[in-house]
Amino acid sequence: VRFPEDLEDDNTTFNPEYSHQVFGDDEVAFGYKGLKILLYYIAGNLSTLFRIEYTSKVSEKFDCVEADDVESKIREIIPPGYCTNTDDFVSLLEKEVNFKPFGMLLHTYSIHNEEAGEDITYQIYKADMTCPGFREYHERLQTFLMWFIETASFIDVDDERWNYFLVFEKYNKDGATLFATVGYMTVYNYYVYPDKTRPRVSQMLILPPFQGEGHGAQLLETVHRYYMSSPTVLDITAEDPSENYVKLRDFVLVKLCQDLHCFSPVKLMQGFSQEMVTEAQQKLKINKQHTRRVYEILRLRATNMGDAEQSRSYRLDIKRRLIGPYKKKQRELAKMRRCLRPEEMTNQLNQIDLNMQREQLEETFQQLVSDYRRVLERLAQA
């Protein structure tokens, strides 16, 4: 909500992707007809208005059953101090002009908005719990995780190893410049013996109204650039990354690496090398596993897949990496053969297993190439 009229504007409304962490695996609130759970957030400081509406509710006296206590379930995730009536919320909205982003400005960028017909400016800040008012703001911000990240959990904000990176949109209201929350990322700084740290991305969320505009890539690249300047950082990882995050990371890391000397087309065609691992880690804080993916994507760009020899060389190079888990499985089968009677491990069964492995290997390879092509297409448009 930026303006009072947004309260009645369905275009500013967005719905949760998940509610199982609040309402159980079935995502059901029992005992109501026409139930609406309404959560309004002021765009900048995220002050909250919470209301429940329904047309009817089951009566315990009549049906000997009790409706779910929806309000208490929501109160478990939203911090106290929220509004329950519109007038109080609107009065808070009038004070929004005083809200300013927390922490240190790291990056400013613009994105052209077709609907508005103009460039809109965004800023990325790094904050921590020493920033006045940030702890309370973060309590409100993290409530979005429960609705948009499948396995979300709240973090221990008293642990000083957490860093917070925030994205804001700058907009005008009555001649004043205001800020709207776009998204954020939390990063935990793990200790690596003897004198290094390994930042691990824990949670990352771009709010639904801003998704698909490139903010995730801007945020991740800014975070990488922030840590790149630190001599004590070994490399950057992510905790249990989602499929979408992996695609985003592929794009950002390839964008960062493509101009490194070791990723020149000539070097790429010579195969994956320790030089790539060393340069990517020292200059960009990228670990070996992610560097290998960057290499595979950039080598695909450098490869003429219409040339039979180049195509075959690329395919074999990727499959040599992919076959690792299958070889491990074959070693396990070999151990089983020594332990089991011949009739329990027939040749036919082994042959079926090998054929399945070949099919799975080819399927995995084709999927990877498809994913890599999408990264290269996005890179070409960037």
Catalytic residues: 239
End-to-end CA distance of the chain: 31
Amino acid identity, position 64 = C
Q: Say how far apart CA 353 and CA 336 lie, in whole Å.
A: 14
93 Rama class: left (phi>0) / alpha (psi -120 to 50) / beta: alpha
Tokens found for residue 148: 């948009």
Q: Say how far apart CA 333 and CA 331 lie, in whole Å.
A: 5
CB atoms within 10 A of CB 113: 12
Q: Say how far apart CA 205 and CA 184 lie, in whole Å.
A: 6
Q: Say how far apart CA 216 and CA 208 lie, in whole Å.
A: 12
Tokens found for residue 370: 């498809």
Report the 3 state secondary structure along 105-150: EEEEEEEEECCCCEEEEEEEEEECCCCCCHHHHHHHHCHHHHHHCC
- The SS3 assignment for 26 reads coil
Helix axes 347-381, 243-257, angle to 10 degrees: 60
183, β-bridge pairs? 167, 206
- The SS3 assignment for 82 reads coil
169, β-bridge pairs? 122, 180
Tokens found for residue 48: 């909250």
Amino acid identity, position 150 = E
